[in-house]
């Protein structure tokens, strides 16, 4: 037996916290029976007949019907955004001022109307629209019902990064206020739900008198250890040379500064530039550096794995 909220999270119906709130609001049914609004309810660990009452039409959303239920995906509208993180910005949670104690600005401070990149490929920052046009753009592109902007810079509020990039790295980073999406993206490295991430890394030898290693198979082996770590690394999904100075990494693990440390300790290389270009099926593509856009229905479906 497991807690009902945990089982709902495993079925990707919602996060545990969201499940507990739904239970208290009398919205959860197991085998067509309303669950009493008491926390700590338990169900069989293999139970799949769990439904949530849809507040909009009174219907039900079941775990095995999510991929065909538009109302379920509608609930994610505006909940997930992707950003092309620039160098010099922290990807961690911002403080109230948007600046951390070391005076580095966080990526969350870039989630404003000026840095939005719309579906037609137009960036409001590059076009420098007038205040009137910017207001019109805000009304048409972001529905205020789903996205809340605060402060004089009109910055999105309530979004947290699902994964990180260090301050000297650039590339794709995803922000969300959905527990389901965060759980999927932050899944344990050895979990079946762990999401692939792809990086392009420009390197140079630590010793100028040494040549680049041709063989990268050491990264695909089990049992590699990094200094200060107690657990061995998971083998990379793929590691290959793109040219004489750039390596492509595909991996599911994500330890602190892992790629930089692997290059130094296992390959004798120093990282000159690191860019993340893909998370799961979500690609950075033409999104300009420092800009962001919401994810669409198909992209969210690919993240959740439905």
Catalytic residues: 166
Residue 254 has a CB neighbour count (10 Å cut-off) of: 18
With beta carbons less than 8 A apart as the criterion, state whether 203 and 263 touch. yes
Residue 279 has a CB neighbour count (10 Å cut-off) of: 22
Bridge partner list, 197: 251, 279
- The residue length of the chain stands at 306
Q: How many angstroms separate the CA atoms of 207 and 270, rounded?
A: 9
Torsions phi, psi for 259 (to 5 deg) = -65, -45
Bridge partner list, 51: 29, 62
Q: How many angstroms separate the CA atoms of 140 and 126, rounded?
A: 18
Rounded (to 5) percent helix, strand, coil in the chain: 25, 25, 50
Beta pairing class for 246-251 and 197-205: antiparallel
With beta carbons less than 8 A apart as the criterion, state whether 84 and 276 touch. no
Residue 163 has a CB neighbour count (10 Å cut-off) of: 17
257: three-class secondary structure by DSSP: coil
Q: How many angstroms separate the CA atoms of 261 and 137, rounded?
A: 43
With beta carbons less than 8 A apart as the criterion, state whether 151 and 98 touch. no
Bridge partner list, 41: none
With beta carbons less than 8 A apart as the criterion, state whether 197 and 284 touch. no
With beta carbons less than 8 A apart as the criterion, state whether 293 and 79 touch. no
């Amino acid at each position: 037996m497991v807690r009902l909220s945990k089982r709902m999270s495993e079925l990707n119906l919602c996060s545990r916290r969201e499940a507990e709130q739904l239970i208290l609001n009398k919205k959860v049914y197991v085998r067509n029976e309303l669950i009493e609004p008491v926390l700590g309810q338990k169900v069989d660990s293999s139970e799949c007949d769990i439904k949530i009452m849809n507040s909009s039409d009174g219907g039900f959303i079941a775990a095995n019907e999510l991929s065909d239920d538009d109302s379920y995906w509608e609930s994610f509208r505006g909940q997930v955004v992707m950003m092309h993180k620039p160098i010099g910005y922290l990807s961690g949670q911002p403080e109230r001022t948007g600046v951390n104690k070391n005076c580095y600005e966080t990526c969350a401070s870039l989630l404003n109307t000026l840095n939005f990149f719309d579906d037609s490929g137009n960036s409001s920052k590059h076009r420098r629209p007038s205040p009137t046009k910017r207001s019109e753009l805000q009304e048409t592109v972001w529905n205020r019902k789903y996205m809340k902007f605060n402060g004089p810079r009109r910055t999105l509020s309530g979004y947290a990064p699902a994964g990180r990039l260090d301050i000297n790295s650039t590339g794709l980073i995803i922000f969300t206020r959905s527990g389901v999406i965060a759980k999927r993206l932050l899944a344990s490295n050895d979990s079946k739900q762990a999401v692939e991430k792809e990086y392009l890394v420009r390197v140079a030898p630590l010793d100028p008198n040494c040549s680049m290693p041709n063989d990268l198979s050491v990264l695909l082996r089990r049992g590699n250890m990094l200094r200060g770590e107690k657990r061995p690394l998971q083998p990379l999904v793929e590691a290959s040379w793109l040219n004489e100075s750039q390596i492509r990494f595909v991996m599911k693990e994500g330890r602190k500064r892992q790629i930089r440390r692997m290059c130094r300790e296992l390959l004798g290389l120093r990282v000159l530039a690191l860019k993340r270009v893909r998370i799961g099926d979500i690609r950075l593509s033409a999104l300009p550096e420092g800009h962001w856009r919401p994810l669409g229905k198909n992209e969210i479906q690919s993240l959740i794995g439905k």
